[in-house]
Structure 1
């Protein structure tokens, strides 16, 4: 298998955008093209979770390839629910690592704010088990089940959970790409609307619009893709043996670390899927950064702050940067590259060699972990 390198990155500002999905994807792609210095590619990979439902549009890969002037390059669309961006990155990695392609452009985008929140919730709930959905389950409801179980097992309180939102909003306030650029307090979180006990409004990531792009190549550059892992789990949550932790993340992380030849102790910064605040804590444990229950203690002790021993979501995460579902997994990669190269415009760790991303698809039914290495 050949080494794969990140030659260029691009990202739009996230938020409630007036731009079309195509325009945002093109914006991110053109930034990445300039950053990489390349203008021709062996393949184009485009990711979006559900543009048919949010916008009534499809055939996105062909449209974007045409608009970028890259015809007749092969193009395809990738989708794996809310881990679409990460799965897209993995598809591009395989194309280069196998030797089939020398250079690929991967782009993810989603526009979610054109529909009412109720419809967006319905679209997002389509990724969970049909029987559970027919009995009233939604994504926030299932996340709340997992959160409550974690609280019971490890003693996490609602005020402690609120620290995730407070931390990530403070980080997002300094990230020019972020949807939410304001700090909040624990009291703000605790007084916000109850969505599904114990999760409140500020425990949930916002419906958002945005796009990100990455150029992958077999030519050495400043950032190498050191390892990745992917794993799935049962669609039906009621059939799982553990609600508190996600087996798919644990297996994906084991595979990623084995491929990279390092251990969790080598990671200096991480972007963890925090669609719900509890998922940051759970995810940090599942990838091996902390032992079971240790994510709570790390949060309380400030270890995961941007200036802590192991910063998590220094970008603001999905919670503050926003969660355009098909984009988030790739945006995490962009944020880690910015941090590893010292180009992030927000406080982040300096001189770090390895960074990690963890992306969750559905209710942890298709999860991915990626490790990147800064070459100095």
Structure 2
């Protein structure tokens, strides 16, 4: 077994884009390959959720190998709902670490705009167990996380304004991130009083529909930001089977596996990108990842502990809420931000960041990946 590092990264802007999923992927991959010094690539992994239904394009791995002139190297597209990018990265990392490949290109992308809201919503809802009574009654992702938010507020005394604090923090970070979808200033009052999506979640509490792509090149050795560990876990996609609505077991278990493999714990992490598909999800995630006690995440937000100067800066990219959430690209984009932080080239740079963590969630907790990284030479 050997060290594996990220030696190149590339990313497009996120938002509504007048270009194809193929075009976005090629841009991100070329940037990553150029930064990596144009290495010989042994395989290509692509994270994507719904390119067939939303972008009228499948076989993304083959499309990339052809367009980038990589010959007949193995390629694959991987789907795991919103964790598609994280899953693709994990599989690539495991194969390089095992010695199957030396250098792998990992990309993620989604084209979600350009279609009507109903079509996009129906496609996203395919990430739930629709052959169930929950599916037949029309449970949606905002509905699921709205229930979690109400339960959390009931159990622990948090308020709607604490959800708004998540959205405001991430928007403030996004303003300085040139690839972010939303860079307009807002206020706590505007967020709290925004259009209700599902009680208690308003417009700013929900990640947007986005287009975008991201890519990284990983390679055997210590020539870049080192990948210390990878953890993955699954969970039930059905609300009625969850023993504790405020415990996303896949997030917790994937984190425990990553911490154990890296020989580290939550207190060793200097910066984190986590899956804030909804403001409530970030609060639960900072607890599941071990940064704060269960039921205390909202107090940490109120005290400013998840920002610069606090205990752990969270989602310095702007997060899914403001950076944007092109589903297949999200897991890779999180890693790009962590790599940038550890290379001291990030928007909203965290001083003396040595260890970073990226957590990518799929569905309502169906999948989670956690990756831990170390600054080169640290």
Asked if the contact 2:47–2:86 (Cα under 8 Å) also holds between the matched residues in 1, the reply is no
The residue number in structure 1 matching 2:62 is: 62
Asked if the contact 1:340–1:350 (Cα under 8 Å) also holds between the matched residues in 2, the reply is no
Asked if the contact 2:222–2:376 (Cα under 8 Å) also holds between the matched residues in 1, the reply is no
Cα distance in 2 for residues equivalent to 1:327 and 1:154: 34
The residue number in structure 2 matching 1:355 is: 356
| Structure 1 counterpart of 2:140, from 128, 138, 146 | 138
Asked if the contact 1:306–1:348 (Cα under 8 Å) also holds between the matched residues in 2, the reply is no
Scaled by the length of structure 2, the TM-score of the pair is 0.97
Cα distance in 2 for residues equivalent to 1:31 and 1:287: 32
Cα distance in 2 for residues equivalent to 1:69 and 1:309: 45
Asked if the contact 1:339–1:348 (Cα under 8 Å) also holds between the matched residues in 2, the reply is yes
Cα distance in 2 for residues equivalent to 1:335 and 1:295: 23
Cα distance in 1 for residues equivalent to 2:314 and 2:241: 31
Cα distance in 1 for residues equivalent to 2:318 and 2:310: 15
The residue number in structure 2 matching 1:313 is: 315
Asked if the contact 2:2–2:221 (Cα under 8 Å) also holds between the matched residues in 1, the reply is no
Cα distance in 2 for residues equivalent to 1:174 and 1:114: 27
Asked if the contact 2:206–2:278 (Cα under 8 Å) also holds between the matched residues in 1, the reply is yes
- 1:203 CA drift (Å): 0.2
The residue number in structure 2 matching 1:369 is: 370
| CA deviation vs aligned residue, 1:204-239 (integer Å, no higher than 9, x gap) | 011000100010100212311011110001121111
The residue number in structure 1 matching 2:158 is: 156
Asked if the contact 2:209–2:325 (Cα under 8 Å) also holds between the matched residues in 1, the reply is yes
| CA deviation vs aligned residue, 1:332-375 (integer Å, no higher than 9, x gap) | 0000000111101x222111111111111011111111111112
Asked if the contact 1:307–1:348 (Cα under 8 Å) also holds between the matched residues in 2, the reply is no
Q: Which runs of 5+ in 2 are unaligned?
A: none
Cα distance in 1 for residues equivalent to 2:203 and 2:236: 28
The residue number in structure 1 matching 2:169 is: 167
Q: Secondary structure at the match of 1:327?
A: helix
Cα distance in 2 for residues equivalent to 1:112 and 1:190: 27
State whether structure 2 residue 83 is matched by structure 1 residue 83. Answer: yes
Indicate the RMSD between aligned Cα atoms, in angstroms.
1.0
- 1:56 CA drift (Å): 1.8
| Structure 1 counterpart of 2:248, from 231, 246, 249 | 246
| CA deviation vs aligned residue, 1:179-206 (integer Å, no higher than 9, x gap) | 0011211111122111111111110011
The residue number in structure 2 matching 1:337 is: 339
Name which of structure 1's ranges 27-36 and 55-64 shifts more when overlaid on structure 2.
Answer: 55-64
Superposition map of 1:10-21 within 5 A: 10-21=10-21
Cα distance in 2 for residues equivalent to 1:234 and 1:197: 23
- 1:306 CA drift (Å): 3.1
Q: Which runs of 5+ in 1 are unaligned?
A: none
Large movers: runs of 4+ above 4 Å = none
The residue number in structure 2 matching 1:9 is: 9
| CA deviation vs aligned residue, 1:273-322 (integer Å, no higher than 9, x gap) | 00100111100110111110221111100111134331001110001100
Q: Secondary structure at the match of 1:320?
A: helix
Asked if the contact 1:49–1:82 (Cα under 8 Å) also holds between the matched residues in 2, the reply is yes
Asked if the contact 1:177–1:321 (Cα under 8 Å) also holds between the matched residues in 2, the reply is yes
The residue number in structure 1 matching 2:226 is: 224
Cα distance in 2 for residues equivalent to 1:9 and 1:91: 18
The residue number in structure 1 matching 2:187 is: 185
Name which of structure 1's ranges 37-46 and 255-264 shifts more when overlaid on structure 2.
Answer: 37-46
| Structure 2 counterpart of 1:267, from 263, 266, 269 | 269
Asked if the contact 2:39–2:103 (Cα under 8 Å) also holds between the matched residues in 1, the reply is no
Name which of structure 1's ranges 214-223 and 74-83 shifts more when overlaid on structure 2.
Answer: 214-223
The residue number in structure 2 matching 1:195 is: 197
Aligned residues: 375
Asked if the contact 2:47–2:77 (Cα under 8 Å) also holds between the matched residues in 1, the reply is yes
The residue number in structure 2 matching 1:289 is: 291
Asked if the contact 1:168–1:315 (Cα under 8 Å) also holds between the matched residues in 2, the reply is yes
